[in-house]
Amino acid sequence: MSNARRMRILLTVAFLLVWMVLAVSAYDRLPAIIATHFGGSGRVDGFTRRSVGSWFHLPVFGAVLTVVFSVTAQLILAKPSLWNFEGKPQLLSLPAASQRLLFEDIAVWLTAVGSSMTLLFAAICYDVWRVAMHNQHGLSIVSGSAIALSLGGLAFGTPLWMMRFNRRVIDAATKAAR
């Protein structure tokens, strides 16, 4: 595991632990009814009764996403045939050391995506708490920014990353052929 991926995983796990502690400490202070959905305008348009499930589903989902993306990254490193993309034949024809570096790049990207989604859910959970405490009436600039960065990162970052990755595979295959 690369240092970059290890650091992202450790930071995400530390963040999840802090988030869980804060969620547990805030639970008893929540009102009987809490926000469950923010509409396109950022205003709350859905409510539910406070319950363990309604309050902790975002932190639990963030933890599950972190595990799923980390396990997927490990599986790709352990069994490269699971990953399908345009330059796969060239990648699998490279020496094992070159393959490992490129597959580690995939693992780092997946870990980053999982971490960004976890941060997005934490920002939304924070806004649910702020609405419950009557400190605001909708999504904050923090959550709006987290949504824009997460969705923008996925929508624009993934294709750009794949083009860069495919270029690296082609360059490595060309270098290996010399």
What does the domain layout of the chain look like in residue ranges?
A: 3-177
Judged against a pLDDT cut of 80, whether residue 29 lies above it is answered with: yes
What digits encode the pLDDT tens for the residues 84-128? 777 778 888 888 888 888 888 888 888 888 888 888 888 888 888
Rounded Cα distance between 155 and 27, Å, is 34
> Residue 52 has what pLDDT?
92
Q: Alpha-carbon distance 3 to 68, whole Å?
A: 19
Q: Is 28 exposed, middle or buried (0-12, 13-18, 19+ CB in 10 A)?
A: exposed
Residues 45-54: what's their mean pLDDT?
Answer: 90
Residue type at position 126: Y
- Supply 39's token pair: 């509409």
Task: Measure CA 118 to chain center.
Answer: 5
Q: What pLDDT is stored for residue 49 in this prediction?
A: 93
- Identify whether the C-beta of residue 26 lies closer than 8 Å to the C-beta of residue 126: no
Asked whether residue 82 carries a pLDDT value surpassing 80, the answer given is no
- Residues 126-176 have pLDDT tens digits of 888 888 888 777 777 878 888 888 888 778 888 888 888 888 888 888 888
For residue 133, the model assigns a pLDDT of 83
Write the pLDDT tens digit of every residue in 52-74.
998 988 888 888 988 898 888 88
Position 50 scores a pLDDT of: 92
Q: What is the pLDDT confidence band of residue 51, given thresholds at 50, 70 and 90?
A: very high
CA distance 78 to 60: 27
Q: What is the pLDDT of residue 41?
A: 80
User: DSSP label at 4?
Assistant: H
pLDDT at 2: 73
Identify the pLDDT of residue 126: 85
CA distances, 89 to each of 22, 45, 82, 169 (Å): 47, 49, 13, 10
Output the pLDDT for position 37. 85
Q: Do the beta carbons of residue 51 and residue 27 sit within 8 Å?
A: no
